[in-house]
Amino acid sequence: MPDYPALAARIAALTAGETDAVALMATLACELHHADDRFDWTGFYRVVAPGILKIGPYQGGHGCLVIPFARGVCGAAARTGVTQIVADVDTFPGHIACASSTRSEIVLPVRDAGGALIGVLDIDSDRPAAFDLADATALAAILAATFGRPGVR
Ligand code: SME
């Protein structure tokens, strides 16, 4: 488990005053990915049209470029607005396997200051059941502090 308070403080310092969403996503993908060796793919999918996610900044192997809200763990997080913690991706209906090594996944909705969905944060692990509620809570707080600031777009 990373030292989430220290990670949040580092991200806050690195992104202070920044409102460009892509710059913020790139910084978080980098800092989150290197914070924990459970994280084998760390990245964002952006809402680019109604019902459509498109890949954003990420760390790790190739990620698929486009995900409709109707598909995958990312689509489920975007469609429902609820964080998805998947202990075994092989049991998730419609899971999209960007890497055959992925065993578990967490996907969180990303919202702007007005509460509008602007994307999702996807973290994949090669370990089974790698993520828990503590990860979801800490990551959601980092996302809210970063993307919930006024003027992010
Ligand atoms: N596994 C995700 C797709 C994104 S790749 O893992 C980077 C999903 O099922 O939505």
Pocket perturbation via mutation, ligand 1, pick of 58, 103, 122, 131 by most ligand atoms within 8 A of CB: 122
> Residues with Cβ within 6 A of ligand 1?
41, 63-64, 67, 72-75, 95-96, 98, 105, 122, 124
Residue 135 reports pLDDT greater than 90: yes
What number of CA atoms fall less than 13 Å from residue 74's CA on the CB side?
A: 29
Check whether 2 has a pLDDT greater than 90.
Answer: no
Determine which helix (DSSP H) or strand (DSSP E) holds 108, and give its type and residue range. Answer: strand 104-111
Read off the pLDDT of each residue in 67-88 and give the average, rounded to a whole number. 98
Q: What average pLDDT is seen over the chain?
A: 98
Question: Which ligand 1 atom lies nearest to the CA of residue 75?
Answer: 10
* pLDDT in the model for residue 37: 97
How far away, in angstroms, is 17 Cα from ligand 1 center?
A: 30
For the chain, list the domains and their CATH numbers.
Answer: 4-147 (3.30.450.40)
Tokens at 62, concatenated: 């190739």
CA of 1 to the centre of ligand 1 (A): 22
- Other C-beta atoms lying within 10 Å of the C-beta of residue 87: 15
User: What's the gap in Å between 43 CA and the centre of ligand 1?
Assistant: 10
Let me know: does 129 contact 91? Beta carbons within 8 Å: no
Name the residue at shortest CA distance from atom 6 of ligand 1.
Answer: 98
Residue closest by Cα to atom 1 of ligand 1: 96
Atom of ligand 1 nearest to the CA of 74: 10
Question: Which atom of ligand 1 is least distant from the CA of 43?
Answer: 7
Q: Give the pTM.
A: 0.98
Q: Tell me: pLDDT of 1 over 90.
A: no
Are 105 and 86 a contacting pair, CB within 8 Å? yes
Q: What is the pLDDT of residues 53-65, one digit of tens each?
A: 999 999 999 999 9
Task: Report the distance separating Cα 140 and Cα 130, nearest Å.
Answer: 17
Q: What is the DSSP string of 44-63?
A: EEEEEETTEEEEEEEESS--
